């Protein structure tokens, strides 16, 4: 009984594709988290500068140089 189960289990590849896709998604997630950590402060500065320019433009004041 156990020998037959192990033999059948070793030949079964039905879940291999799902596991591979899961590993790929996990790797992409780690890359995104790493990029956000590395460039997060820079992106925040760019966003804040753009928002400040929009605020001054909407208020009718000249944009700071």
The string of pLDDT tens digits covering residues 4-62 is 877 777 777 777 788 888 999 999 999 999 888 887 767 777 788 888 888 888 887 66
d(CA 27, CA 4): 36
Return the percent helix, strand and coil in the chain, to nearest 5: 85, 0, 15
d(CA 18, CA 30): 18
The answer for 62, left when phi > 0, alpha when psi is -120 to 50, beta otherwise, is: beta
pLDDT > 90? residue 3: no
Model confidence at 64, in pLDDT bands (50, 70, 90)? low
* Global confidence as pTM: 0.48
């Amino acid at each position: 009984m156990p020998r037959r189960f192990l033999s059948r289990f070793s030949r079964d590849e039905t879940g291999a594709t799902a596991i591979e896709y899961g590993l790929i998604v996990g790797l992409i997630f780690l890359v995104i988290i790493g990029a956000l950590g590395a460039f997060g402060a820079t992106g925040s500065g760019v966003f804040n500068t753009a928002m400040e320019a929009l605020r001054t433009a909407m208020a009718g004041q000249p944009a700071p140089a």
